[in-house]
Chains A and B, each alone.
Chain A
């Protein structure tokens, strides 16, 4: 069966520090991968998605970037965190577009 792992579960970072969140999927090949952010009191916002290695689509211009160095690995990064980057970050995968997405347990990011 397929599983998705996301880490760390929680992270507290100072403003201006770098960020790296990692997501890996097991049990499937060439999945579509997604990064979402859920800010307090707001819905899920799609940040990036990827349909293959090295292919990244950005939905919202911002202080973040994403990379897919391997087929089942998706990384969310920032060079300098802003206070507004605080939130709950979720990684998800699907077999293809149009099929259900399956989510990781999320990373709660607090910026001080």
Chain B
């Protein structure tokens, strides 16, 4: 089965700084999802990418899918405390999503 590798596993940044989280697959991605999870809570859907080179933005969060459709990046501009949490990428399979291990983001004041 296809595996998604996220990097870094954890990230600590100072409030106001930019950051990038990566999600890499060994095979072509036919649908890539980004979710955010606060500790002890459910996942919140952020964005879905399907086309090579596609880029979507939601407030200060931008996600891109590379042309080969094997890597996606999530970029946060001018990070805020509300951005803290676990970010997960997920790949669309026939009937289900397969998730990466997640990236834990901490924002320091």
Complex contact A100–B33 (CB within 8 A): yes
**A108 neighbours in B (Cβ, 8 Å):** 40
- Do B48 and A106 have beta carbons less than 8 Å apart? no
* Any B CB within 8 A of the CB of A85: no
CA of A27 to CA of B94, assembled, Å: 25
CB-defined contacts of A34 to chain B, threshold 8 Å: 96
| A7 within 8 A of partner (CB) | no
- Write the B86-109 contact mask toward A (1 if CB under 8 angstroms, else 0): 001000101111111110000000
Within 8 A of A (CB), among B67-100: 88, 92, 94-100
Residue A43 CB within 8 A of the other chain: yes
B43 contacts across to A, CB distance below 8 A? 44, 90, 92, 101, 103
Bitwise, A23-41 to B at CB < 8 A (1) or not (0) is 0000000001010000000
- Bound form: Cα–Cα A59–B101 in Å: 18
A102 touches B41 (CB 8 A): no
By a beta-carbon cutoff of 8 Å, the part of chain A in contact with chain B is 6, 32, 34, 42-44, 46, 49, 51, 57, 59, 88, 90, 92, 97-98, 100-106, 108
Considering the complex of A and B, which 10 residue pairs feature the smallest CB-CB distances, nearest first? A103-B42, A103-B43, A43-B101, A44-B99, A100-B45, A97-B95, A105-B42, A43-B99, A106-B42, A46-B96
